Structure 1
Amino acid sequence: MAINRRSLLKLTGYFGAATAASLSWPQLKKLEAAELPPEMPPIIMQLDWKFNVQFAGLLLADYLGLYRQKGVTVSLKPWESDMIVPDVVAANPMMIGCSEQNLILDAQAKGAPLKAIATMFQASPYALMTLPNSNLTTLTDLVGKKVGVHADGVKVMELVKGVNGLNSEAIEIIEIPYENKLDRLINGELDALQCYAVDEPIGFAQRVGEAPILLPMDQYGYKAYAQVFFTTDALLQQHPELIQAFLAASFEGWQRALADIPGTAKLVAETYAEKGSKYTDVDYQQKSLELVGEYVMRGIQPSQIGLIVPEQWQQTTDLMAQYGIIATAPGLEASLDLSLWTGNE
């Protein structure tokens, strides 16, 4: 799956008329703080990866002062090695986190007092990639082939095979580490490889000179949400107005980020990315944000940014329990609180 330029132009058009003029690099400026509501306690936003354009809306909201405009002080924290974000958030009442749907559900099933409140991505970027000349373009093309996945992808692939009527042995699934995984695809040891579709295919193209073929798993029945905002029951009960302010600023940040993808990518690469990391490459970040934008806006209207559809959430939850991705399936009342974001109305 290559970048869909037509969709990208449409996506940029959603938000560009209102905000692009004020965001064009290098005219990007921090906003002056508006008259603030009564001071609210500070919160920490715990990300599930390092600073890069996967969090462009939040980073731009931070840079432009959008959180402060809404009267809330937010500290953005990048992921640290071996961190399980739902566990960290559950132990810190004044914290919001983001994570994949399955990790939030797993924590809830174990009794963690957490609820999902909105989402950044409308679909999981979990995908398989194959070599450009492989002619392996669909799931059924992989029957009889070897597919390398990470530990968290083994049961996901069982779900995908089951939903698509393939028996467990139809596709050979091999659990692999992250190290040197591209080598194993390029040298033919593996026929397909698990990837995160908003990032890893760009690195593949830089190395090989051509984009891989992508098989997004949301097109094959894995209808999970990703980069889901969630928080503690305590924060929901004690400071709902704080969460509302956070969500409003965050999604305004996303609207502004998608209105000026080149400028936002440059800002993230030069201001927030860890020095020496691949995320300081402006071109890499711009291409990644183009892909990210597709996941933020997939299947929704601009007014619905952040939307979680309860029926889809529960259907995916039930499938995850059926295929052992989570131990049990929490009900909607125990899992979601969608009352604080207008995109969920």
Structure 2
Amino acid sequence: MRRLAIAATAAALLLGSIAACGGSDRDSGAGADGKKKVTLTLNWVPYGEHAPFYYGIKKGFYAEEGIELEVKPGNGSGKTLQAVAQNQTDFGWADTPPLLKAVATGMKVKSVGVFLQKGPSSIEFLADKNITKLTDLKGKTIGGTPGDAMYATFPALLKANGMAASDVKVVNVDAAGKIAALAEGKVDAIMGFFHDQAPTIEAKTGKKTSYLLFADWGMNMLGTGLVANDATLKKDSELVKAFVRATQKSWTEAAKDIPGATDAMAEMADNEPAKEVLVKQLTLALPLLKLDAGAAGVNDPQSWTESIELMTKYAELKDGGSPDKYWDNSFTSKG
């Protein structure tokens, strides 16, 4: 069986600085050649969006920072955030709306940089449904998963586009079952991340999939990014800086080499989608980084403020506050 965790083989350029920093509550210990073992838990099982992490391992970007990285599958951003908060993993890759909710309820975690600057939340459907705008959803059945940010903000999305909640029928579907529900015709559309699910739906059905992005219809919220425990940020700041540097480089270089990034993922990950699906998923994800506007993972306070305001207004985020409540901007490099 291919190993999910692959030890990077390049020399550790900054090993000394990392070895000298204080340990976090969760001490991973030393790995190969004295590198620090670090774990990253994803927001879901591996799909194309995650290819840059495997690319960074293969190219030695993490090893150059003295890090031996292990990538672990996730089971939703909420559970990934819990794992970070409970020191079960060093870093998490999680969606921003669940992060806002988690911090607001007292969870001791923070973002150290959101990479998907444009939110991937969408309504997905087979292209033969002839849906081109939100009002085309009237009378349709939509599959959604209670508890996620899309489900919470969908009524607001309808309202922002002159529709009432009663204009559509929302059917509760488990996150893992949404694609099957759509493919089997049990629902007309589903709520989901378009860059993850649309290529998978097309591979399963052989039919073209279309989508309407929340972000294009008045509900743009920051997407997925890196999350760390508050204690780690204080005690292992040099490690955090090194990890973020390696991740920024991994994403920047992967954007220039999609075939190489997806090859690395196909080689290293377990239970990943077929190669052609990985390529489509990563290709769709990269524009969401807005690399033409700045370095990967570098955020602006206005984007955070907009996400906080939308979640406060539509998703019952209590005492929203300012961006620095949720995000520590001292670890990302503008390149």
Are the equivalent residues in 2 in contact too, given 1:93–1:232 (CA < 8 A)? no
Over 3 Å counting, the alpha-carbon distance change for 1:67 and 1:157 in structure 2 is same
**Which range moved further: 206-215 or 75-84?**
75-84
1:110 corresponds to which residue?
A: 105
**Superposition deviation, residue 182 in structure 1:** 4.5
**Superposition deviation, residue 139 in structure 1:** 0.7
2:216 corresponds to which residue?
A: 219
Distance 1:108 1:247 in 2: 21
- Choose the corresponding residue for 1:241, options 230, 238, 241: 238
User: Are residue 206 (structure 1) and residue 203 (structure 2) matched?
Assistant: yes
How big is the alpha-carbon RMSD for the aligned residues of Structure 1 and Structure 2? 2.7
Distance 1:66 1:303 in 2: 20
**Which range moved further: 260-269 or 38-47?**
38-47
**Superposition deviation, residue 189 in structure 1:** 4.4
Deviations 1:233-252, CA, capped at 9 Å, x for gaps: 22222222221111111111
Percent identity (aligned):
23
- TM-score normalized by structure 2? 0.82
Are the equivalent residues in 2 in contact too, given 1:270–1:280 (CA < 8 A)? no
- Alignment-mate amino acid for residue 305 of structure 1: A
Q: Which runs of 5+ in 2 are unaligned?
A: 1-7, 24-35
Distance 1:94 1:288 in 2: 25
2:39 corresponds to which residue?
A: 44
- Alignment-mate amino acid for residue 301 of structure 2: P
- Choose the corresponding residue for 1:91, options 86, 89, 100: 86
Distance 2:89 2:200 in 1: 36
1:57 corresponds to which residue?
A: 52
- Choose the corresponding residue for 1:127, options 118, 122, 128: 122
**Which range moved further: 74-83 or 133-142?**
74-83
Over 3 Å counting, the alpha-carbon distance change for 1:302 and 1:322 in structure 2 is closer
- Alignment-mate amino acid for residue 155 of structure 1: A
**What aligned pairs does 1:147-226 form with structure 2 within 5 A after superposition?**
147-151=142-146, 152=148, 153-178=150-175, 181-182=178-179, 184-185=181-182, 188-226=185-223
2:329 corresponds to which residue?
A: 338
Are the equivalent residues in 2 in contact too, given 1:266–1:286 (CA < 8 A)? no
Are the equivalent residues in 2 in contact too, given 1:115–1:232 (CA < 8 A)? yes
**Superposition deviation, residue 104 in structure 1:** 0.9
Distance 1:215 1:176 in 2: 19
Q: Which runs of 5+ in 1 are unaligned?
A: 1-28
1:258 corresponds to which residue?
A: 255
Over 3 Å counting, the alpha-carbon distance change for 1:282 and 1:234 in structure 2 is same
**Superposition deviation, residue 108 in structure 1:** 0.6
Deviations 1:141-200, CA, capped at 9 Å, x for gaps: 112322221222321201212333433323332222346544544565433222321122
Count of aligned pairs between the two proteins: 310
- Alignment-mate amino acid for residue 271 of structure 1: M
